[in-house]
Structure 1
Amino acid sequence: MAYDSLDRADRKILAILQSNCRISIAEIAEEIGLSPSACHRRIKLLEEAGIVESYVARLSPQALGFSMVVFVEVSLSSQSEAALSKFEAAIDAAPEILECHLMAGPADYLIRVAAKDPADYERIHRELIARLPGVARVQSNFSLRTVRAWRGYKVVEPV
């Protein structure tokens, strides 16, 4: 099932689930004008097709004590397949790393890290980032404020 083949009801279901995955199937069905059983079938098909990957809770970084977001640009000393695989395996094993993206541009990777304070980021930098395999250069960029947090993908045209 490709995104382009989804009808308006499927896209509305996706938008609703993306904004509140705890909403009941009955509430979704009522909002989009389907029976609960038809709505449930559509959700199952979206899950089976891999369009809905998982259901998660978005936690408050502030409530957990993370007051800093740091974007870290990392350049490797080699871009061989072995070097990239070794680096990515180390990233995958590090719970402090929130996200990691392979980039086109001056840096090979862009990493997003949350830290409690500057001392906590220094610890993460010394004990984790600087010790990642193949790292040649690291540049840390500190977020001053989140202007707009990620809210999900656009799946339905505004009415």
Structure 2
Amino acid sequence: MDNTDEQIIHLLANNSKLTQLEISERVGISLSACQRRIKLLEQSGVIAGYKAVIDPTVLGESLIVFVLVSLERHSKDGVRAFEAAVSRLSMIKEIYHVAGEYDFILKVAVADIKDYQNFNYDELANIPGMGKTSSLIALADRKHTTRK
């Protein structure tokens, strides 16, 4: 992978709707060379797919909370059971198994603080194996702001 491939990856990461012609012009290579490079990046797994970035506020999910979770048990079965339980909750948008003081970081999207309170008490607290949690409320998303 060279500098040109890195430029292509950067462009696609910021806007996957760019046409191959637009990418080739911005990078300064021919359209056919750009098409070959993108195809190779896809085949090698560097580009694993394309996705839409959804504005959560339009869906009524204007509050983002990162929940740090410590499990009571750290067995393989305990971890798998926790992952299965949180995977079923639609408010949880991302799940990260991490090393350190906490075992998981959950990205939760809800309408408001009342919805988060309900989610925390009615859903999250009832998952078997839950230990200590800590909630971090996101004030702003600087990386995924809408680009026009």
TM over 0.5: yes
The structural deviation recorded for 1:92 is 2.5
How many equivalent pairs are there? 145
**What is the match of residue 126 of structure 1?**
121
Alignment partner for residue 111 of structure 1, among 100, 106, 109? 106
TM-score, scaled to structure 1: 0.82
The structural deviation recorded for 1:147 is 5.9
* Amino acid in the other structure paired with 2:57: Q
Q: 4+ runs of 1 displaced by more than 3 Å?
A: none
Q: Which moved more, 1:41-50 or 1:128-137?
A: 128-137
SS at match of 1:73: strand
TM-score, scaled to structure 2: 0.87
Alignment partner for residue 32 of structure 1, among 19, 27, 36? 27
Quote the RMSD (CA, aligned, Å).
1.8
Q: Which moved more, 1:116-125 or 1:127-136?
A: 127-136
Q: Distance in 2 between matches of 1:133 and 1:47?
A: 40
- Answer yes or no: is 1:72 the counterpart of 2:102: no
Q: Distance in 2 between matches of 1:111 and 1:73?
A: 7
Q: Distance in 1 between matches of 2:88 and 2:44?
A: 28
Q: Distance in 1 between matches of 2:128 and 2:144?
A: 30
The percentage of aligned residue pairs carrying the same residue is 37
- Answer yes or no: is 1:95 the counterpart of 2:90: yes
Q: Distance in 2 between matches of 1:61 and 1:147?
A: 11
Q: Distance in 1 between matches of 2:40 and 2:128?
A: 41
Q: Distance in 2 between matches of 1:53 and 1:79?
A: 31
* Amino acid in the other structure paired with 2:143: A
In 2 relative to 1, CA 129–58 (structure 1 residues): closer, same or farther, beyond 3 Å? same
Q: Distance in 2 between matches of 1:141 and 1:10?
A: 36
Q: Distance in 1 between matches of 2:43 and 2:123?
A: 37
Unaligned residue ranges in structure 2 (runs of 5+): none
Q: Which moved more, 1:91-100 or 1:39-48?
A: 91-100
Unaligned residue ranges in structure 1 (runs of 5+): 1-5, 152-159
